[in-house]
Amino acid sequence: MAEEISTNFEAFNEHLSKEQDKREEIRTIVRELEQTGREIMTVLNAIHQGSGIKEVPQICKRSRELFQTVRSKIALLAAAFPVDEYYRFHDHWKYGIQRLAFSASLIIFLEHERLATREEVAELLGVTVKKSDGFHIDLEDFLHGVLSLGNELSRLAVNSVTSGDYSRPIRISAFMGELNSGFRLLNLKNDSLRKRFDGLKYDIKKIEEVVYDISIRGLRPAAQDGKADPFVETAAAQGEK
């Protein structure tokens, strides 16, 4: 009996040791992946510095080049565990992937001023959107990344005005309004995702304040479609009271 118990526990110990080794291998790769993610954000933060607004194409190009390293690290990560064990280890990398999804979404917005698709972000990361393929970008991780755009774009709206670009905040405001409407269509059951969405209204409010400010100062570019500026009309109405 004692020998049988000893044999069983030796087997348990071997299993736990292998499990620990696998998790440590994953943690090492994730640390390297997150470091590359920080390097990408350092490059992207240049849009807020001095003439950064005018250098957006070059900044995006340098950021995309760093995603080559991201793809190689994720390939190592995907090879570190069986295809069907993705969610068993998901907690190790989900925050890093969310930040990378944000960076990828920001690059695509800066390049095209539209919302990145999940497929575009997956391609930049070198992954897929299908669970059956193993390492993929989880939908909630993608949505977390998209929601992080709010804070960054509200900051960009402010810095655009400082750089003399008065039309960009207006385009950002329109985009954020559409993004907000899109998220309202979702039934968000994930607590952290719902809380993050709840915070989006503060980012939108900050952007609207920037647009309102440039409007009442007469800095807002004339509407090309001939429509009246609602912000100017509001300001005028308040002044008549």
- What's the DSSP call for residue 84? G
Instruction: Tell me: is residue 152 an annotated ligand-binding position.
Output: yes
Residue partners of 234: CB distance under 8 A and separation at least 6: 212
Query: Which of 82, 76, 129 minimizes the C-alpha distance to 101?
Result: 129
**Residue 137 DSSP class:** -
Catalogue the long-range contacts made by 232-241 (C-beta closer than 8 Å, 24 or more residues apart): none
Neighbours of 74 (CB within 10 A): 24
Distance between CA 9 and CA 4 in Å, rounded?
9
136 φ/ψ angles, rounded to the nearest 5 degrees: -140, 170
Binding-site residue set: 152
Binding residues for Mg(2+): 152
